[in-house]
Amino acid sequence: MKRLFDFICSLIGVIILLPFFVAIGLLIKFSSRGPVFYRGVRVGRFGKLFKIYKFRTMVQDAEKLGGSSTPDDDPRLTQIGKFLRKYKLDEAPQLLNVLKGEMSFVGPRPQVPEDVALYTEKEKALLSVLPGITDYASIRFHNEGEILKDSPDPNKAYVEKIRPEKINLGLQYVQTHSLWVDIKIIFLTFKTLFQVSR
């Protein structure tokens, strides 16, 4: 049921949002040098690697200029990128990952291989389900960039202030997930985004 729900909803989402994808793509292309999409390597279910789709929100070759954690005041962010991140619009292309079966609408956020390599045996349970576009941690830390703002070392601040609770929330989802839990999380995600936009 979960896969059928993901497939049908992601297909409908891609069709409906296609004009917006084109418009956002043009804004990104004309506002800064570089590709429209960012395609970073992430670890999926059972440790399988895949490339995630995101709208590019940073300058070209941003990985060479800093770490994986991104505060709101990160100089690598483009102007359009700041807007896309604020409303989570940069994540919208992940509907394609859901359509391909690499991700789900709901599940622990996919991490880079370097972070997954540090998982404890307990934390490896996060890899037993498909990673998702949103989850409890995405709602709890919807303002992650703001939390990391003004930090001299954003990566260290992320590990100390955010990662432990994110891991715990991800494990909570693994232990209790169901289609109804997914629908609840999707509803709470939209509710949070609506509150942010006010």
According to the model, what pLDDT value does residue 198 have?
Answer: 66
- pLDDT mean values, one per 10 residues, the chain (198 residues): 94 96 95 93 97 94 77 91 92 97 97 94 97 96 90 89 95 95 95 81
Residue 66: per-residue pLDDT = 73
- Max Cα distance, the chain (Å): 46
Q: Which two tokens stand for residue 161?
A: 């202030």
- In the block, which residue shows the tokens 């049908």? 8
Q: In which domain, by residue range, is 31 found?
A: 2-197
Number of domains in the chain: 1
Strands 132-134 and 104-106: parallel
Distance of CA 90 to CAs 6, 83, 114, 179, 191, Å?
A: 19, 9, 22, 25, 18
C-alpha to C-alpha distance for 180 and 162, rounded to whole angstroms: 26
| The overall pTM is greater than 0.85 | yes
**What pLDDT was estimated at residue 138?**
94
CB 102 within 8 A of CB 50: yes
3-state secondary structure of 38: strand
What pLDDT is recorded for position 43?
98
Q: Which residue's entry shows tokens 């599940």?
A: 107
Rounded distance between C-alpha atoms, residue 134 and residue 191, angstroms: 13
